[in-house]
Structure 1
């Protein structure tokens, strides 16, 4: 047996990966008695499948789960937690390992994933939350600086939060902006539940 990389990834391969590998893996690890509505985010590459793909939809709402595919905003890699920090964190571990072939490389990536600390993952999602807050401040634009909250220092002081709070006024202002006719996103995302929760 010889492992070879796939030369051309297309929609069929992407669909098969989501249906045969990603969804079963999520289901096997998902905790019981918690919300089973799960968003799978793509980054608009050509091989990625359409959110309304019929084969995906056929298995999206089984076993009490509700899977939905969403696409990150164009030209906003900071909204993709994988591009933002996660892949870099894995690659920094993988780069320290020797690979003499494809099998070694695959094994190194797997072992680096397993070695990744939960503390690192917490930092990754805090970075994502910080970016999303900054994006709201500039109405979805790219003209913002990546926020730095000195996570290492806060962690040493045992003061690192799990989540970041967002000011209610910023959320209301963002919702108001999204509801303007020229910013109509109703066909893509339903934001009514957010408005209702805030009484706005």
Structure 2
């Protein structure tokens, strides 16, 4: 799977170490390249798939308007769309749109990415009382409950861990099922909070003509 990882580009500079890096203006805002041709980029992806260099091609963090533009101008439609999805950000409209257009949805930050709390306040999903209670009911960890929730909502999940025990636990989510009461409880945690808000990482990106992504 080869994805266009973000639907925007930044002007590139060569850093002191000789490596390319995205530039920032004197005011601290990112130096955006607003001329990026997403259709042109997608056609290059199509060409590489047709040449057998890529098995599947997809998108990441595109908004619906951008995806629609790709769909109207493509020979090979995107097979996958990756975007942030967890109990606090249940983008069900995007999930439906993708499914209606035969795209697999991959959700990242399924567990809430508590590590992001080092630079901003984020919902603590792993310690949420509802999540813990559901886990105790099924004899599962909070992480397993959150992963199972996204699976039952129709998404592929891609949790990350360097702990071997947790990696094993992340696979142990196919031997139980959340019931309607569980799903309703978890759906109630949706507050529309985006952990990986591009503006918090790329200051000034909100000025991009196609924002929000």
User: TM-score scaled to structure 1, two decimals?
Assistant: 0.29
Q: Which structure is higher in helix share? A: 1
Q: Which structure is higher in strand share? A: 2
User: TM-score scaled to structure 2, two decimals?
Assistant: 0.28
With a CA cutoff of 8 Å and minimum separation of 6, indicate the structure with the bigger relative contact order. Answer: 2
